[in-house]
Structure 1
Amino acid sequence: MFFTCGPNEAMVVSGFCRSPPVMVAGGRVFVLPCIQQIQRISLNTLTLNVKSEKVYTRHGVPISVTGIAQVKIQGQNKEMLAAACQMFLGKTEAEIAHIALETLEGHQRAIMAHMTVESAPPTQVAKTKQQIEEQRVQVQVVERAQQVAVQEQEIARREKELEARVRKPAEAERYKLERLAEAEKSQLIMQAEAEAESVRMRGEAEAFAIGARARAEAEQMAKKAEAFQLYQEAAQLDMLLEKLPQVAEEISGPLTSANKITLVSSGSGTMGAAKVTGEVLDILTRLPESVERLTGVSISQVNHKPLRTA
């Protein structure tokens, strides 16, 4: 049966016909089931934080050191792979990392114990540079905070200036315009109400005058009707007598304005101007008869009839 592995691990086959064991890194291998055994080992890189606290130097000065170490099994080097298999085969990555960390801490402590304080300078320089950098960053932070504060103060100052120079006058002008608009509105309303009241009063006065005139005319007509009812014949006669001169004038008018009159006689009677006068008198004599036919009132008999009273 074939088994394969990736480039980050190695396989170790042991058992029948596998002495010494066969090690394969990133490949495949044939394994006889039951009589051969296959094991795997990780080839991943392990990053370890190596801490050594209060380690006394050669002169008895306690120091603490933190180091970073990366550990990796070289799968392409057969000797190193064989040594790693002897130490770590069958263990997990966590167990391998723990063993490597303890080993590195021991070596780091041994190195620190043989050193003096004067010989840890690169570390001190690095710390000093780090402190300087931190202080520089802090200074930048403070400067930036001061700049922000100055900008905020400038913004506040500009807002106050804008408030005093633009907003306040604008609000005052707006308030003034609003008051003027309200006053004009009130004035227009009062004018409209006054005009409406005037129109209403004028309409009422006109209506009253029309009503009074109508009532006066009606009363006058009623009185006339009553008078005509009480003195119908006398009134009619009075009207007729009042109009008779006008009728006579209308009849004689054409004769008086004529320049020349030609009379044709039937052979008897008077002739000349007397004939004309007789014709006019004849018309006037027949007028009462015509009036009586039209109105039913006899002019010749009206003096003999008593007037009706109410």
Structure 2
Amino acid sequence: MPPLSLLIPIGIAVILILALFFTGYVKASPDTAYIISGLRRQPKVLIGKAGVKIPFLEKKDILNLQLIPIDVKTSNAVPTADYININVDAAVNVKISDQPELLRVAAQNFLNQPTAYICAVAREVLEGNMREIVGKMDLQEMVSDRQKFAELVKQNAEPDLASMGLDIVSFNVQNFIDDSGVIENLGVDNIVKIQKTAAIARAESEKEIAKAKAMAQKEANDAQVAAQQEIAIKQNDLAVKQAELKRISDAKKAEADAAYRIQEQEQRRTIEIATSDADIAKQEKEIVIKKREAEVQEEALNASVKKQADAELYRRQKEAEAQKFEMQRAAEAALFAKEQEATGIRRVGEAEAEAIRQKGLAEAEAMEKKAEAYQKYNSAAMGEMLIRVLPDIAQKIAEPMAAIDKVTIIGSGSEGVSSVADGVPAVMAKLFETMRETVGIDLNEIVRAGSYDAKVNRNVAVSGIPETITLNTQTAEKEEETAVEEKDEDESEKER
């Protein structure tokens, strides 16, 4: 292990070396060039990188590599190739070249110099070259082709600036100025030409624009007309289609309405026919019912009349028989009394008895004839009674017809009315026929023969009566009075 006395110097030496290193360490930015010179035959150039310079033995110098803008103007008027004095104003950008050879030249010329110095040197070189080019070119050529003028000046000035270590980055001509107004006069013709060309171009353009507008408007109008025509065609087609559809719809509707009306009329006719048939059937049924009722009433009336006549006949027959029986009993009683009396006075009363017997026989014979007369009288009385009740019978027959609310007469002319009006007489005729066939009494003959008084009291023969009545007026009146008295007695008995 080395002794401590050796380590200390070594440490100090190391520290010194490190201090020297860090002290000599340099780093250049990209727009700056560090020129390190001293121990080397050629200076070391650092651009955008780091390096080490030996302290106290080497030196670091700086060159600015940034662009240097220069406004180059001619200090006085410069005559052109066509002897026109002009002033030129240009904007130029230069910089120190980064090529090693040119950089070394620039280091020799501008090391540690300010930018203003570099700008002044470069301006003098550029102005001289610009004057040289102005003298070689015509004014019109320079004015019309500034780029050519700038390229010629740049090409002419680059060797001079390269000998100083500078590069031309850009050269732009700003203005050409003359005090005589030549440039302005040169521009008059061009202005006129340009204006003319511009006017022509404008006119052509306006013409083309107008033409294009007209064409566009025409096309638009054509398109609009075509569209309107197409719309009109479509609308016409639509209207035709709508009309056709409406016609079809109206036809269908008319057919439906006609079918509905026909069906409605058919239904109405069917209903009317059914109603008429029903009314006719009802009327026929009512007629049958009324006819049946009339027949029933007729039969009932006939039965009632017959019953009443039979009852009256039976009553009178019974009365006659009873009267005959009473008379016979009375005669027998009288005969018995007389016989009893005759038994006592047979001899005296045989003649008287015989007379009485003959008288009784005569009276009995009279009574029999009276009974027969009663029987014959009863038939005539029955006819008289029937004649008296004929109005009531007609009323009873007409009552059902009077109760009918509505009568529908089917038929033309007066036949229907006459058929209705003939109903009651027809029933009456039927009643007369029934009476003639059942009872044997012909009411027609009785009506033709006159009243009861003419036929009975006056001994008028009535055809149709089973037996001819030949009673005298006195006997008939007596018998009539007896019948009236008996009728009054019967009514009194009924009231009791």
TM-score, length-scaled by structure 2: 0.34
> Which structure: greater helix fraction?
2
Q: Which has the larger radius of gyration?
A: 2
Choose between structure 1 and 2 for higher RCO, CA contacts under 8 A separated by at least 6 residues: 1
> Which structure: greater strand fraction?
1
